[in-house]
């Protein structure tokens, strides 16, 4: 018998996977942002996936991106959402 070679997952997040990962988070996690929130859950999920893809923090990603929300806003909603 030959040993079975297990295929390991690619450790990279590819650009074409990005929307699917954001949609999966949106389906699996519920963020209660309140009626007056300046951002929506999808914005938060995009930052989280982007930070993971870049192997960096939310703070670093938001600080280096022109179009991202303010990092403290993202972190506040993650801490306070139920």
| Among candidate residues 2, 1, 78, 17, the one with its CA nearest the CA of residue 50 | 17
pLDDT bracket for residue 82 (50, 70, 90): low
**Measured between alpha carbons, how far is 20 from 74 in angstroms, rounded to an integer?**
20
3-state helix, strand, coil in the chain (%, to 5): 55, 0, 45
Domain boundaries, the chain: 46-82
Report the predicted TM-score, pTM, of the whole model to 2 decimal places. 0.75
Q: What is the pLDDT of residues 17-61, one digit of tens each?
A: 778 888 888 888 888 888 888 899 999 999 998 898 889 999 999
Exposed, middle or buried, 17 (CB in 10 Å: 0-12/13-18/19+)? middle
């Amino acid at each position: 018998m030959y040993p079975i070679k297990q295929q390991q997952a690619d450790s990279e997040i590819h650009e074409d996977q990005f929307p699917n990962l954001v949609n999966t988070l949106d389906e699996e996690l519920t963020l209660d942002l309140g009626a007056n929130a300046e951002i929506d859950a999808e914005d938060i999920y995009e930052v989280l996936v982007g930070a993971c893809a870049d192997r960096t923090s939310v703070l670093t990603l938001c600080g280096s991106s022109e179009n991202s929300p303010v990092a403290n806003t993202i972190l506040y909603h993650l801490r306070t959402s139920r």
